[in-house]
Structure 1
């Protein structure tokens, strides 16, 4: 229990949470946003693959392929978008 209290009162973690919730883009918050976008892209790619090719390839294979190809466009565009936001604002 004491470790959790120390973790909650850690200034580094408090700064990270403050930056994340206030929308300030730092290196760590950018990495977290890319991870969130990649997770959503994997799920969305799997669903899209199942819808598009589920009947032809089978639902499991199409979900696997969609999950692999989903983040191919999302991760670079997320990084580019975060860089543009950081430089403009």
Structure 2
């Protein structure tokens, strides 16, 4: 795994995540940046309730990814390494 590519980019992504963290925390969850690849893909770990929630796919796409890309347009995508698929 690559290390965090760019501290400035990481700071921008963290600020974007901070805008949605209160909502995640209200449901007992959170997210942690594991890596930002050279291709500008943010790899996250879903923490707490988010890691086992059946709605985590929707939360990732409609909440987390949207907030990050809106605030940091150079990011090309967001992936969670431990997402629970909807069945």
Q: Which has the larger radius of gyration?
A: 1
Structure that is richer in helix per residue: 1
Q: In proportion to residue count, which structure has more strand?
A: 2
TM-score w.r.t. structure 2 length?
A: 0.30
Q: Indicate the structure whose relative CO is greater, using CA pairs within 8 Å and at least 6 residues apart.
A: 2
Q: TM-score, normalised by structure 1?
A: 0.29
